Amino acid sequence: MSADAASRVCEFVVKQIVDNPDGVSVAQSETDGGIRLDVSVADGDMGRVIGKRGRVASAIRTVVRAAGVDDDVTAIEVEFVD
């Protein structure tokens, strides 16, 4: 199982938000029923990606799940890791 479109969309969106786009990386792994995307950003950019009350992170997750439809993946988790 692969979620290439969702991974590319996630990386693109996060790079547009952060101050240091070169510090963005997205790692993809399989879980018990779907795909997990671990998103890492440079120091100081995590607050921008999470947003106030997690609204930006929630919006990113929504967009990435919608992109997962192109990959025929119904369960995509997006985790922001330090």
pLDDT tens-digit map of 12-37: 999 999 999 999 999 999 988 889 99
- 47-73 average pLDDT score: 92
Contact assessment for residue 5 and residue 72, using Cβ atoms and an 8 Å cutoff: no
- The CATH number given to 4-81 is 3.30.300.20
pTM above 0.85, yes or no: yes
- For 36, half-sphere exposure in the C-beta direction (CA atoms, 13 angstrom radius) is 10
Domain coordinates in residue numbering, the chain: 4-81
Element (H, E) at 15: helix 4-17
Q: Return all residues near 48 (Cβ < 8 A) that are at least 6 apart.
A: 17, 18, 19, 41, 56
